[in-house]
């Protein structure tokens, strides 16, 4: 299976890339940053908000892509109108424009029956007051996945709604004390990655959702 994922240099993306690579799949990661450590998957430096760098990356990766994992994203914290204009622009660019541009750039390289794995967030289904703008962009991600499914019925679309995960994104904007408290409730990125791979391999399930009652995940 040939997999392309964005945001594969750290966090959930890196964990999924490693799992799939170890299982013998051909994995290609697109990210602005180089991986923190050597990995079994191929890395391409590109910005998901830049059409030229995306095109070059996909041309190097080539055709017959089975899976696109639209995973790249950033976090900015704050209530709806306490956030800065810069926060707004950066979130919309990376989390909204980036998802659309990556999918658009991938189309000539995807197999007809390819799978789109779209990263959203548990915040999309239960938006908090903070981070408000981030939650809005993750609602877009979920709606974007549904729009792709309508526009491209030949594509298998699966959406991921993670809960608290110990990643650089999950720690972004928190004080040391807040991180120490939050890590008590966070799942490890490798644990969440195993669930994402289960979702990808399932012939019938279309979403992975965090359940805040069981504090675990369900395939739906």
- Residue 34's pLDDT is 82
- Residue 41's pLDDT is 76
Domains of the chain: 2-219 (3.40.50.720)
Burial class (CB in 10 A: 0-12, 13-18, 19+), 161: buried
- Residue 40's pLDDT is 64
pLDDT along the chain (220 residues), means of 10: 96 95 95 76 92 97 98 97 97 98 98 97 97 98 98 98 97 96 96 98 98 97
- Residue 130's pLDDT is 97
Query: Distances from the Cα of 154 to the Cαs of 86, 110, 113, 145, in angstroms?
Result: 38, 11, 5, 13
- Residue 39's pLDDT is 66
């Amino acid at each position: 299976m040939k997999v392309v994922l964005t945001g594969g240099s750290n966090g959930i993306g890196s964990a999924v890339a490693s799992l799939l690579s170890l299982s013998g799949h051909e994995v290609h990661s697109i990210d602005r940053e180089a991986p923190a450590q050597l990995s079994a998957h191929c890395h391409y430096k590109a910005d998901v908000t830049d059409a030229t760098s995306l095109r070059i990356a996909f041309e190097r990766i080539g055709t017959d892509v089975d899976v696109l994992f639209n995973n790249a994203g950033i976090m900015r914290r704050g209530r709806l109108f306490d956030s800065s204009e810069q926060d707004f622009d950066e979130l919309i660019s990376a989390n909204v424009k980036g998802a659309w541009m990556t999918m658009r750039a991938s189309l000539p390289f995807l197999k007809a029956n390819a799978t789109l794995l779209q990263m959203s967030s548990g915040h999309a289904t239960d938006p908090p007051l903070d981070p408000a703008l981030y939650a809005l962009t993750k609602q877009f991600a979920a709606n974007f996945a549904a729009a792709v499914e309508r526009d491209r019925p030949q594509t298998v679309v699966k959406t991921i709604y993670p809960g608290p995960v110990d990643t650089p994104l999950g720690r972004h904007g928190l004080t040391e004390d807040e991180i120490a408290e939050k890590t008590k409730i966070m799942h490890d990125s490798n644990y969440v990655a195993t669930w994402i791979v289960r979702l990808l391999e399932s012939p019938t399930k279309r979403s992975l959702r965090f359940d805040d009652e069981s504090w675990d995940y369900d395939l739906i």
